[in-house]
Copies of this chain bind each other. A is one copy, B any other.
């Protein structure tokens, strides 16, 4: 899952051992349940070394996922302008990252996310703690409906990434990015900000038939 680019600090073996232990701990115990101390023990190193290499637990998780982006950057883009254009800015920022050199890491992350139940669980923790938990309050979304709005928008972005970068269906695969911003931005805008019919509380449950 991890592809190293550029120069990184420290011993690569130690670094990789920490990331491996982190992936196991995050998948098993969730982000909140996995302590830096336990991850350090799993990697056979001192907890101070984990902090030294990766900084915060958030940054350790992003490194363990080999995420092509820090969700905070996309959230920052979303906030950097008119609220009525938020959807377009989010789509543009997302495409800019995936169309660039970090796109390969994005495809690897998607492949990993659907690989099996274990990796799907890791990706779900990533979405919950690194995207939703940070974005809902920062974007000023209603806590009750914010998670629904974000996951709807995320489903469109993930689906676009699947079609454009993984399955590579035309014309999406080769479309100019601004054409996609124009086509998809309003859908994301509606999910994030506009009135949504049938908005339902986070605790909604459906006994599937």
The interface of chain A, by Cβ under 8 A from chain B, is 99-100, 110-111, 113-115, 120, 123-124, 127-128, 147-148, 151-152, 154-160, 162-164, 166-172, 174-184, 186-187, 190-191, 196-206, 208-209
Contacts and interface: CB of A to CB of B under 8 A. Distances in A.
A154 B176 contact: no
Nearest to A98: B208
A148 B147 CA distance: 29
A98 to B, nearest CB: 10
User: Would you call the interface of chain A mostly helix, strand, loop, or mixed?
Assistant: helix
Given A110-B114, A120-B166, 17 more contacts: A99-B208, A100-B209, A113-B166, A124-B168, A128-B169, A151-B163, A151-B169, A152-B183, A152-B184, A155-B172, A156-B187, A162-B162, A170-B202, A174-B204, A176-B206, A186-B197, A187-B187
Nearest to A123: B167
A77 B178 CA distance: 32
A208 B169 CA distance: 16
Contact of A155 (B100, B124, B127, B163): B163
A131 B204 CA distance: 33
Contacts of A179: 198-200, 204
A194 to B, nearest CB: 10
Contact of A171 (B160, B175, B200): B200
A174 B209 contact: no
B197 A166 contact: no
Contacts of A100: 209
Contact of A175 (B154, B156, B200, B209): B200
Contact of A176 (B151, B158, B180, B200): B200
